[in-house]
Amino acid sequence: MDKRIRSPNYPAISLPDAIARVTTLYRAIHTHAAPREVVAKGMGYNTLNGASATAISALHKYGLLERSGDDIKISERAFSILHPHTSQEKAEAIRAAAGEPALFAELAERFSGAIPNEDLLRNYLLRKGFAPAATVAVIAAYRETSEMVEREGAGYDSGQSTATGTAPMENPSTTHHNLQAKNLVVGQEVGRQIGRYDFEDGGFVKIVASPEIGTEDALTMVETIVELKRKELVARQARMTREAYERREAGESPDE
């Protein structure tokens, strides 16, 4: 018997990606109910196809869309994220959206605290019957979603000290470090993480895109940037080789 978890149990895209798409949809139809074809075009797709249907399904799984008869409209949860009255409302709506998919709620309960590394997540998913190829997309979506919840939670928590009107005393010796931490949070909110690879020595490579850019568009641009960068490196190496050759021909030391 095939025990593999099917798509209804988890969204195919991350929550940041889903919010970017519902933002585009809101600009197109606002809070009006519309047929699936109109919703697909409002999200930026040319027609209702496999990709747009998958995106619509993911938004439903996060609770960002809801049915209105035979049509679809943006949910109250999505509206709380796009136009919140307070940072608390937005943070709570994002946390609720992240916990809506059954698999994500299960992973959050199983691995409470810090987000586990990819090997641990992959092993857990494989033991639950996921195909190895499917784990890549699931892990990426879960990590991006979890990181967004952490960012929003940090932003909300940092504002609670002044909510009661009693700001905590601050040690002058730690002011500089606190300012750095606040700037780090602000910097994280500028974009959303598309992917990350951690090296054994502690280094990492991370891809970040602005919220309004979809994951597919971001990855396409990353491929373009990588191709251009490789050509630049090849050209630089060729130039360095040529200059070294010219120095040798001129009788100069290669290090001069």
Are the CB atoms for 16 and 212 separated by under 8 Å?
Answer: no
In 3D space, the residue among 55, 35, 31 whose CA is nearest the CA of residue 45 turns out to be 55
pLDDT of residue 74 exceeding 70: yes
Cα–Cα distance for residue pair 99/149, rounded to 1 Å? 10
136 three-state secondary structure: helix
pLDDT of residue 193 exceeding 80: no
- Confidence (pLDDT) at 84: 93
- Confidence (pLDDT) at 133: 82
- Confidence (pLDDT) at 201: 65
Are the CB atoms for 73 and 66 separated by under 8 Å?
Answer: yes
Give burial (CB, 10 Å; 0-12/13-18/19+) of 98.
buried
Strand partners, 68: 71
Cα–Cα distance for residue pair 7/57, rounded to 1 Å? 9
204 three-state secondary structure: strand
Q: How many CA atoms lie within 13 A of 226 on its CB side?
A: 8
Would the pTM of this model clear 0.85, i.e. be above it?
no
Higher pLDDT, 8 or 153: 153
Give burial (CB, 10 Å; 0-12/13-18/19+) of 144.
buried
Number of residues in the chain: 256
Higher pLDDT, 208 or 98: 98
What is the arithmetic mean of pLDDT over 138-151? 90
- Phi/psi for 208 (5° steps) reads -125, 140
pLDDT of residue 71 exceeding 50: yes
